[in-house]
Amino acid sequence: MIHKSLAVSLVQKWAIPLLLILVTIRQMVLAHTVGLSPWHGGGWGMFSSVDRDERRLIQVLGTDNRGKLIKIDSKSLKNLFSDQDLILIRTFPTTYLLETVADKLLGSQLNKFENQGAKQPSLKNLQKVKIQVWRLHHDRENSSIRYKVLSPGVEAKKDDFSGY
């Protein structure tokens, strides 16, 4: 009887603090290993960082069939992905998500995006795509804020795409 009341007392006192400690450790591990934004997953560390998912950039570079490098505008991504999908990609940029973006870009009919602006080149002959996510980083030594690569560059070629 005494052991049972002692166990209940320990659970009542320590269950919530232990749960919070586990959530904190999980968030810190994900933030340092796979690039989870510190503003997500419990929020620990969010006020100590300028790295918010809204400020992250998804850089997409393509190569056409002549080998010309094309910088793909983010408006093209907004036409292919929902706002929620783009937030997820910026917040938690795993290799799998970036590969999915690359495959969708290569497999879509991108020529419908050509006329969105005079600066956007034709994307209908896209052969290769490289995607990276960049985050804001505070450089304490120089007291400056600049963009820094967060995710490794994920590259997809039309030959590798299973839809062809």
Q: Render 45-61 in DSSP notation, one character per residue.
A: TGGG----GGG-EEEEE
Q: What is the tens place of the pLDDT at every residue in 126-152?
A: 889 999 999 888 888 888 888 888 888
Query: What are the sequence ranges of the domains in the chain?
Result: 2-33, 47-157
Q: What is the tens place of the pLDDT at every residue in 59-116?
A: 999 888 888 888 888 777 888 888 888 888 888 888 898 998 888 888 775 544 444 4
Banded pLDDT at 118 (limits 50, 70, 90): very low
How distant is the alpha carbon of residue 44 from its chain centre? 19
Residue positions counted in the chain: 164
Question: Among candidates 29, 156, 38, 28, which has minimal Cα distance to 90?
Answer: 38
> pTM of the entire structure?
0.67
* 150 within 8 A of 35, measured Cβ to Cβ: yes
